[in-house]
Structure formats: structure tokens, C-alpha cells
Amino acid sequence: MKEQTLAIHAGYEKDTQHTMAVPIYMSTAYDFGSADFAASSFNLEQGTDHVYTRVGNPTTAVLERRFAQLEGGSGALAISSGMGAIFYSILNVAGAGDNIIISSKLYGGTITLFTQTLKKLGIEGRFFNIDNPQEIDNLVDDNTKAIFFESISNPSIDVANIEEIVTIADKHGILTIVDNTVATPFLCKPFSFGVDVVVHSASKYTTGQGLAIGGLMVERVGLVDKIKNNSRYPYFNEPETSYHGLIFADCPASSVLFTFRTRMILLRDTGAVLSPFNAWLFIQGLETLALRMRQHSDSALKIANFLLSHSKVKKVNYPLLKNDKNYENAIKYLSKGASGLLSFEVEDFAEAKKILDGVEIFSIVANIGDSKSIINHSASTTHQQLSKAELLQAGINEGLIRLSVGLEDSDDLIEDLKIALG
Ligand SMILES: *Cc1c(COP(=O)(O)O)cnc(C)c1O
């Protein structure tokens, strides 16, 4: 089936009430019916949708199945936020003494996750230049557990050369984890280029109207073959004492071993579970995601071309502009559009401030992916916690303005920017 059909129907068998809309099962727990069934549920023999909502819920399961199909993966796991999904994707493979090789161009929260929180836990983040993936080779050692990058980076809007990174990772038997939040499964399909695990913030385009925080983790078909008997991944190959010596790489759920282990170990023990109500909101969002991504992308390209022609604009970053340094990767990996995210540079902070205070339709908000257009000054808001050196490394100039182009008429948005630019 084609993706727009999957987005409407995948993963939902109508329940006993035959409801067209997916029901919201607001329930903490489920009646096992018999002692034997209860025991087998806890022994992981009955699936995970009807034990306790921290590890599974029937509404959330629809979102997981649908999202897995849209990415072309074998399984997905919903988590309470995008940051939660990223954190779990790392904790699922790494512990104290291990390292992760990470792109120099990442979301601000992801950078601080690596430089602050994971560092305190003894997990080292080693930066590589996203424009020069060959650097990865020299950073790899026996304790490297994953290579982490964003398909389209937020906010620097770089497009990764996915296949070059995957080739190096595969040579060393290392997992690749991609944050596909900005591209969404409709603009980029990382699994078709060999990526192993995809993570998302559903808080952006998936919800689409700025309604709810949530995250997803998806794994590719056949990931078990890369992990099984791979000495880098003892968590999956050694007996798990909390499940009577179960070996994840050999268990009946091994076709979804990455998300299954996250659910049964990390969600069990640390509990960053998505609310079924938010799962339901994301299911509504998925129905129109493809249509919206097309519109966001078309408008953003028009606005990028307008900004390019304006005398006060020093630089425009949009991957589908012919002169953008990401153009080649964009044509290859983002064939259907490059999202509504674009950025541009004006002279300095003062000039940027004038524009932010001058627009009327755009709102000053620390978010992206809303139907309402957003304008943002990265250096003073979302990336404020970064040092000057980290800002530079993340490609953030003090005159950099970030736009998340919404679903308003692009003529009105251009007029709004024209007036604010003066
Ligand atoms: C917003 C965002 C995140 C974090 O997601 P939350 O749902 O806000 O926790 C991670 N990565 C990228 C690229 C993002 O834009």
C-alpha cells in the first residue's frame, strides 16, 4: 500500500464497537482474567498492549504500528517526548565507559544531552563534522556503540550524506541512529539508505498544530542480523537476569529487538511513557502529514527565494536552493521537499531583533512544525545554553533567524517579512 493510505488505515483493526476513529483507551491496567494468563503476560508471552500502560496501551499501539509502517520499519515505540526517545536510543546500547559518535549539527537539547547529562553518566559524545563524515573513522574504538545524526538538522538545516555515514558504520558493525523529526517519513526514508534506528520528536510536524509533546523510536527490518553475536552489543547478546536469562537477540520478539528491549527494560525502569491521549492526537496528525509536508515545503521554497533576493539578507539556508551547500544531498535524500524549516542571516543581533518585533503573522515561539508560522532567534533562545564555541560549531551566527513556515498563504507570509525587513 502507498504511504498516504497507510497513514489513514495502518495498524488499526476496528474494535468491538466498530468505531471509525481510533478509540482512546484511557486505562492504566487490564484485566488478565485468569492467573495463568497473568503469569504468561509477565513472562512476555502475550504481547505488551494489555499489561500495564507504562509498557503498552492499545491506542498507543495503533500509533506505533502505523508509524513503523510509514518509516518502513519492523517496529516502533512511543515515548513521552522526542528527547526521551533520543535518550532511550542511547541508553539501549551504551553505559559508563562507552562512546557515541555524534554530528556537530544537532538540536540544542540533543547537544546538551550529550555534553551534560550523558557525560555525567560516563557516556562520551564524540563530535564529527557533518560535512565530512570521513572523520568518523578516526573516532571509532571498541567502545563506540552508535553514530547519531539528524537527516535535516535543526536549526542549521544541513542534510546528512546518509549513505556515506552508513558505509563507515557498517564497516565497523556500529549502529546508526537518525533523528528524522524535521524531514518526517514523508520527505525522507532513512531505512531505505541503510540506517538502523530512527527517532522522532512527534511534537513538531506529526502533531502538526503544536498540540502535544511526544516521541517515537523505530527500528529497521532485519536489525537483529547486525546485533546478534556482535561483541559491541552485550545488552542484546548476554542473558538478561531480570527476565530469567532471556537473550534479546534470540527471543521470539527479536524482529523488533531494539524497541522491545527499550520497552521491557528502559520504560519498565524509568517510565517516560506517552499518554494514550497524546498518542491519539498524533494518530490524527498522521492522517494529514503528507499533505501538510507538501504545503510547508512549497511555501518555504517560495519564501527562501524571496529572502535570497532581499538586500538586507546576507545568507539563506534552505537545502533545495541551487546554491545551498546541501543541494546535492537534498536532491538525493529529500526528493519530495525539504520541510518548512529555513533560516537566514542578517547583519547582527539588533537587526534580527527588529525583524522579530516587526512581523505580525509569524509568532516568536521556541518550536517548529506548527500550522502557524514561527520566527525565532536561535542564539538568544533555543541555543542560549550553548557556549560561544558550541554555537559556532552548531553553525549559529548571532544574526541567524529561524523560520518554521506554517500553512498560511505564502503571499501573506512574504508580505509580512517584507514589511519587517524594511
Ligand atoms: C524538538 C526536537 C527534539 C526534541 O523533541 P521534544 O519532543 O521537544 O522532546 C529533538 N530533535 C529535533 C530535531 C527536534 O526538532
Tens digits of residue pLDDT in 317-370: 999 999 999 999 999 999 899 999 999 999 988 899 999 999 999 999 989 999
Residue 162 has pLDDT above 90, yes or no: yes
pTM score, whole prediction: 0.95
Distances (CA, A) of 224 to 13, 78, 323: 28, 20, 41
Name the band, by pLDDT with cuts 50, 70 and 90, for residue 70.
very high
In this structure, which residue's CA is closest to atom 1 in ligand 1? Answer: 201
> What mean pLDDT comes out for the span 159-176?
98
What percentage of the chain reaches a pLDDT higher than 70? 99
Specify the residue with its C-alpha closest to ligand 1, atom 2: 201
Hey, whose CA ends up nearest to atom 7 of ligand 1?
82
Name the residue with higher pLDDT: 41 or 167.
167
402 lines ligand 1 (CB under 6 A): no
pLDDT confidence band for 394 (50 / 70 / 90): low
Mean per-residue pLDDT for 140-168? 96
Choice from 159, 201, 367 to test ligand 1 binding pocket (greatest atom count within 8 A of CB): 201
What does pLDDT average to over the chain? Answer: 95
User: Rounded to 5 degrees, what angle do the CA atoms 340, 259, 137 make?
Assistant: 70
For the Cβ of 182 lying below 6 angstroms from any atom of ligand 1, the answer is: yes
Confidence of residue 306 (pLDDT cuts 50, 70, 90): very high
Which grid coordinates belong to 242? 531480570
Q: What is the DSSP-derived secondary structure letter of residue 8?
A: H
Q: Which percentage of the chain shows pLDDT scores above 90?
A: 86
312 grid coordinates: 538586507
Residue 242 has pLDDT above 70, yes or no: yes
3-state secondary structure of 129: coil
Predicted confidence at residue 17, as pLDDT, reads: 92
Q: Whose CA is closest to atom 11 on ligand 1?
A: 107
